[in-house]
Amino acid sequence: MFKEVLASDAILLKCILHDWNDDECLKILKHYKEAISRQNKKGGKVMIIDMVLMKNDKMIGEAYNSTKMLLFFDMLMMVLVTEKERQEEEWAKLFFTVGFSNYKITPILGLRSLIQVFL
C-alpha cells in the first residue's frame, strides 16, 4: 500500500482506511493523490467504500438500527485494531488536509457508503 502506485485516473479503497489511524490515513491518501495527479491534473478521484457514522441521534426505524450497528462496528474496530469508524466531519478533515478539493458520500447497500474524493 505504501509502495509505488502507477499513475491512475481513479483508485478504489474498500474497507481499508478504517484499519488505520488518522496519520497513516493521511499518508495513504497522499500517496494515492500523487498517483492520480501524475495522470490527471483535474478530474481524477479516489473512491472509498467504508462506513460513515451518522451524527444525527434522532433517527428512527431502519436508520436508527443502522446507526446502532455502525456504533457496534466502531467499538469493534477500537478493540481489535485500536482504530475507528469515522463521522463525515472526520472524513472531510482527512480529505481536505491532504489537498483534495471536494468529496461526495453516497450510502449504498447495508452499512457501507461510497465516498468519492476529487482532486
Q: What is the pLDDT of residue 94?
A: 95
5 within some domain:
no
Instruction: Establish if 60 belongs to a structural domain.
Output: yes
1 in a structural domain = no
**What are 42-92's pLDDT values in tens digits?**
778 999 999 887 665 544 445 555 666 666 666 676 666 566 778 889 999
pLDDT at 95 over 80: yes
4 domain-assigned: no
Q: What is the pLDDT of residues 48-61, one digit of tens each?
A: 999 887 665 544 44
The CATH number that applies at residue 74 is: 3.40.50.150
| CA distances (Å), origin 13, targets 16, 30, 56, 61, 105 | 6, 13, 26, 30, 14
Q: In the chain, how many domains are there?
A: 1
Alpha carbon separation from 39 to 28, 32, 109 (Å, rounded): 17, 11, 31
Cα–Cα distance, 32 to 26 (Å, whole number): 10
Confirm whether 99 is domain-assigned: yes
Residue 81 domain-assigned (yes or no) = yes
Q: Which residue has the cell 478533515?
A: 93
User: What is the residue range of 111's domain?
Assistant: 10-118
Q: How far apart are CA 71 and CA 10, in angstroms?
A: 30
Q: Is the pLDDT of residue 26 over 70?
A: yes
Q: Would you please indicate which residues are annotated as catalytic (active-site) residues?
A: 18
pTM across the whole model: 0.77
Measured distance CA(83)–CA(85) in Å, rounded: 7
- Classify residue 91: in a domain, yes or no: yes
